[in-house]
């Protein structure tokens, strides 16, 4: 590799928090009013204001700002009545917080396969739709399935859809924002997502009763009137006696830094997708590497990129990762036998026993994943693609001449 190009950027370095968001955070700290209900008479706190802003952005009737995306999913499941022993359909290709939220309410995940487009296998979903009354749909790594067909399958089977939109805030299917097809949409505002609060989540719905139950779960006590988007009193009449207090609503400090970021979200999403397209263009035509084709109906946000090394031996995939790492490009692999970092597979989650999914296993073993922070320039992205292309090509030529791409 003497003389080879090397990338020196940092794959975990995010953009700084905008100055107006920093000013808003300082104002909250100077006030001393960090708690969500610590407001003066007639005052709208930052959390309530964020809920109003996010509901307006998504077109939802209600929004609830909470402590994490995982908390949002758990609250959503509780709000639709999922409890111990219930079965919940979910993607085999996802991250651990999704089955974790299901297991956290005592329910049992039923895993649905993944396609080469990295979306939920709708044929497998249709075959399993009679096994549960709820689908926790993970738009994993920002890939949207055919939401028209998915909703037909679920509506016909009486399955309630909860969308995990941790990677699709700002994305859309046929112009419908991610999170608006299902009964509930759940979002993350953790550092590596599309809004950065360090940690946090947002839940949206148009359903009065669902939102009332979620608000009570979030720790509202009897202060639910102080929320930013509040269902009618009738929705709380019985729920306030039935729903446990599982405190997890967001604080004013995090909400303060999110509101200015939300105003910039569409521009940030476009910037991510430009970086994605730059890497994608550089990878096309690489021998042995399959680029994920994005459907025309999908308006995606390219905050990460994936490609497939289909049917490659484990050792050859590891060699590609090692060679790229030596040149400064950090890739993650979902095919490893053991969980590593954030990468794990459905068969890694022993708290959620499952049947084998051989067609999906083949795809999962092939998935290579890479973050695309906005601190990378388009030139950086072109360089990264050249490095990946060169190292995949070198290993392909040396070790895999008989594998069919």
Q: Please provide the DSSP assignment of 251-298 as one string.
A: PHHHHHHHHHHHHTHHHHHHHHHHHHHHHHHHHTT-TT-EEPPPPTTE
The model's pLDDT over 75-111, given as tens digits with 9 standing for 90+, comes to 999 999 999 999 999 999 999 999 999 999 999 999 9
Q: Is 321 part of a structural domain of the chain?
A: yes
| Shared-domain flag, residues 35 and 171 | yes
- What pLDDT does 189 receive? 98
Q: Do both 41 and 114 map to the same domain?
A: yes
pLDDT at 337: 74
Predicted pLDDT of residue 41: 77
Q: State the average pLDDT for the chain.
A: 95
Residues 125 and 204 in one domain: yes
Domain limit, last residue, from 207, 234, 263: 263
**For residues 118 and 141, what is the distance between their CA atoms, to the nearest angstrom?**
8
- On whether residue 5 sits in a domain, the answer given is no
Q: Residue 9 domain-assigned?
A: no
Domain extent at residue 74: 19-263
385 and 341 in a common domain: yes
Considering the domain architecture, whether residues 289 and 226 belong to the same structural domain is answered as: no
| CA–CA gap between residue 97 and residue 87 (Å, rounded) | 17
For 72, the 3-state DSSP assignment is helix
We report the CATH number of the domain holding residue 69 as 3.40.640.10
In a domain, 374, yes or no: yes
Please count the helices (runs of H) and the strands (runs of E) in the chain: 13, 14
Query: What is the pLDDT confidence band of residue 400, given thresholds at 50, 70 and 90?
Result: low
Considering the domain architecture, whether residues 258 and 349 belong to the same structural domain is answered as: no
Number of domains in the chain: 2
**What CA–CA distance (Å, rounded) separates 376 from 121?**
33
Instruction: Tell me, yes or no, whether 246 and 370 share the same domain.
Output: no
Q: Is 161 within the bounds of a domain?
A: yes
User: Are 272 and 302 in contact, with CB atoms under 8 Å apart?
Assistant: yes
Residues 284 and 249 in one domain: no
Residue 401 has pLDDT above 60, yes or no: no
pLDDT score at 8:
97
Q: How crowded is residue 208: how many other Cβ atoms within 10 Å of its Cβ?
A: 16
What pLDDT does 405 receive?
47
**Domain membership flag for residue 6:** no
pLDDT of residue 43 exceeding 60: yes
CA angle, 176 then 46 then 80, to 5°? 50
199/274 same-domain check? no
pLDDT band at 348 (very low <50, low <70, confident <90, very high): confident
Which segment of 2-16, 150-164, 259-273, 371-385 scores lowest on mean pLDDT? Answer: 2-16
- Give pLDDT, residue 343: 84
Q: From CA 58, how far away is CA 61, in angstroms rounded? A: 9
Residues 298 and 245 reside in one and the same domain: no
Do the domain assignments include residue 13?
no
304 lies in the same domain as 234: no
pLDDT, mean of residues 307-331: 96
The three-state secondary structure class of 132 is coil
Say yes or no to pLDDT of 17 above 80.
yes
Stretch 191-215: mean pLDDT: 97
Share of the chain above pLDDT 70, in %: 98
Q: What is the CATH number of the domain that holds 322?
A: 3.90.1150.10
Q: Are residues 98 and 153 in the same domain?
A: yes
- 8 in any annotated domain: no
Can you tell me which residue has the tokens 């794959």? Answer: 11
Domain boundary among 221, 246, 263: 263
Residue 68: helix, strand or coil by DSSP?
coil
Residue finishing a domain among 237, 263, 289? 263
Q: According to the per-residue pLDDT averaged within each range, which of 23-27, 30-34, 352-356 is highest?
A: 23-27
Contact 315, 335 (CB under 8 A): no
């Amino acid at each position: 590799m003497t003389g080879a190009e090397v990338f020196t950027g940092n794959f975990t370095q995010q953009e700084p928090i905008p100055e107006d968001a920093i000013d808003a955070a300082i104002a909250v700290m100077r006030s001393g009013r960090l708690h969500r209900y610590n407001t003066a008479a007639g005052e709208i706190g930052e959390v309530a204001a964020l809920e109003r802003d996010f509901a307006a952005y998504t077109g939802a009737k209600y929004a609830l700002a909470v402590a994490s995306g995982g908390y949002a999913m758990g609250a959503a499941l509780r709000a639709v009545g999922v409890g111990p022993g219930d079965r919940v359909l979910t993607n085999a290709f996802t991250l651990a917080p999704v089955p974790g939220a299901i297991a956290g309410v005592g329910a049992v995940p039923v895993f649905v396969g993944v396609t080469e487009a990295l979306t939920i296998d709708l044929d497998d979903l249709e075959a399993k739709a009679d096994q549960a009354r709820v689908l926790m749909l993970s738009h994993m790594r920002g890939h949207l399935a055919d939401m028209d067909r998915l909703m037909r399958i679920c509506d016909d089977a009486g399955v309630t859809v909860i969308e995990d939109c941790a990677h699709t805030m700002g994305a859309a299917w046929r112009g419908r924002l991610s999170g608006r097809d299902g009964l509930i949409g759940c979002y993350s505002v953790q550092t590596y997502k599309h809004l950065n609060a360090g940690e946090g989540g947002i839940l949206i719905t148009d359903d009065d009763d669902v939102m009332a139950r979620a608000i009570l779960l979030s720790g509202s006590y009897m202060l639910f009137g102080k929320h930013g988007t509040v269902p009618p009193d009738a929705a709380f009449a019985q729920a306030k006696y039935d729903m446990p207090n599982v405190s997890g609503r967001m604080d004013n400090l995090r909400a303060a830094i999110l509101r200015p970021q939300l105003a910039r979200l569409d521009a940030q999403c476009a910037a991510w997708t430009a970086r994605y397209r730059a890497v994608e263009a550089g990878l096309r035509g690489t021998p042995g590497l399959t680029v994920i084709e994005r459907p025309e109906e999908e308006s995606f946000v390219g905050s990460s990129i994936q490609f497939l090394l289909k049917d490659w031996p484990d050792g050859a995939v590891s060699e590609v990762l090692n060679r790229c790492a030596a040149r400064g490009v950090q890739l993650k692999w979902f095919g490893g036998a053991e969980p590593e970092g954030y990468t794990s597979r459905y068969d890694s989650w022993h708290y959620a026993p499952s049947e084998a999914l051989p067609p999906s296993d083949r795809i999962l073993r092939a998935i290579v994943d890479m973050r695309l922070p906005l601190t990378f320039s388009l030139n950086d992205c072109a360089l990264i693609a050249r490095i990946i292309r060169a190292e995949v090509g070198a290993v392909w030529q040396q070790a895999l001449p008989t594998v069919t791409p």
